């Protein structure tokens, strides 16, 4: 932790308010100093990337085959913990890449498969081409509903 810097939530808001593309976000992040650690996924219509942030580093993991896989753990070679301590949820999500078709329902099922119940606060699926977000709050269970938000109006 570093007291000299910008809290991640403040930085996230600034990125959303001031940046219309990942290129603009990269420029803003160049001078960014995080106070704590965290992961952020930044995307535009051209694609996305996972940003692993610490007070000392900003590591970018580009989307692979159009997919950004992210849990709350660092996975870059620079920041990841040893393989035996690696997050099982990330590896399980990566197994879904082998499937022929990854539609919203398949991705939702994958996220439910790695839910930690009450410890899972939310899951999100973003469709960059249609500008839709599919958001579920809480862990995987039959009662929670995934809501679809059309973000097109926000990005006109």
Split the chain (156 residues) into runs of 10 and give each run's mean pLDDT. Answer: 79 88 87 86 87 90 88 87 78 85 89 86 87 83 79 78
Q: So what's the pLDDT on residue 150? A: 93
Q: Is the residue at 1 inside a domain?
A: yes
Same domain, 54 and 18: yes
Query: Does a structural domain hold residue 89?
Result: no
Q: Which secondary structure element, helix H or strand E, spans residue 40, and what is its range?
A: strand 38-44
Q: In which domain, by residue range, is 147 found?
A: 99-156
In a domain, 58, yes or no: yes
pLDDT digits (tens, 9 = 90+) for 51-63: 998 988 889 999 9
What total of structural domains would you count in the chain?
A: 2
Task: Let me know if residue 91 belongs to a domain.
Answer: no
Residue 146 lies in a domain: yes
Nearest to 43, CA basis, from 76, 20, 73: 20
Q: Is 0.85 topped by the overall pTM? A: no
CA distances from 69 to 30, 55, 107, 109 (A): 23, 22, 11, 14
pLDDT, position 148 = 93
């Amino acid at each position: 932790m570093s007291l000299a810097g910008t809290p991640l939530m403040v930085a996230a808001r600034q990125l959303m308010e001031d940046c219309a593309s990942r290129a603009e976000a990269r420029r803003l992040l160049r001078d960014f100093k995080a106070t704590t650690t965290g992961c952020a996924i930044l995307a535009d219509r051209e694609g996305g990337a996972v940003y692993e942030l610490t007070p000392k580093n900003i590591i970018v993991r580009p989307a692979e085959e159009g997919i950004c896989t992210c849990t709350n753990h660092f996975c870059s070679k620079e920041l990841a913990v040893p393989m035996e301590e690696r997050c099982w949820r990330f590896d399980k999500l990566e197994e879904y890449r082998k499937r022929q078709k990854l539609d919203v329902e398949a991705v939702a099922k994958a996220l439910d498969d790695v839910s930690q119940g009450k410890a899972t606060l939310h899951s999100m699926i973003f469709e960059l081409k249609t500008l839709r977000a599919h958001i579920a709050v809480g862990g995987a269970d039959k009662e929670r509903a995934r809501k679809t938000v059309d973000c097109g109006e926000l990005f006109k």
